[in-house]
Amino acid sequence: MRALAPWVTVSGGWAWHFMAPPHEELKRFHDHKDVDLFVEPARFPELIAVLTARGYHRIWTRFDATSTHFYRYARHDAGGKILLDVFVRRVPSVDAGGIRVVDPATLLTFYGDIHSTDDCVSVLAARRLLNKGHSPLGRAELVTGPR
């Protein structure tokens, strides 16, 4: 992720991961099955060069026929398969420890559309915090279950 940081804005479960304080990884906190990334259209060709140099290749999906702004890339290594879902568009972002992530309020609007796991601890906590006027960045609630 850090190698791609100059080109991308992280979304989905990995965005919540970077927004949270250091924590033990549990699936119920945030979904890590793939990496959701946004890239500004002008930077997309640069990102493709970086991904190709790092061993990623394009994977075709059912969305390819209807979308001109979504691309899936994959790489296989000893740890398994790494999937990157790349959305080519500009999104509002914030810094989370040196990683640019989608602004939390904007990120929440993506659930039900481009992200599916909307009942994880991080998403539920971020909704509660934002409803109270608090930023979820760095908040322990992102990685602790409700009491």
Residue 25 lies inside a defined structural domain of this protein: yes
- What residue type is 109 in one-letter code? T
Which of left, alpha, beta for 73 (phi over 0: left; psi -120 to 50: alpha)?
Answer: beta
Q: Which candidate, 72, 47, 49, places its Cα nearest to that of 61? A: 72
For residue 126, the surrounding DSSP H or E stretch is helix 121-131
CATH code for position 102: 3.10.450
> What residues make up the domain containing 18?
9-143
Name every residue whose Cβ is closer than 8 Å to that of residue 69 and which is 6 or more positions away in sequence.
87, 88, 89
More confident residue, 69 or 27: 69
| 3-state SS assignment for residue 10 | strand
pLDDT tens, 57-83?
999 987 777 778 999 999 998 888 889
Q: What is the pTM of this model?
A: 0.87
Domain count, the chain: 1
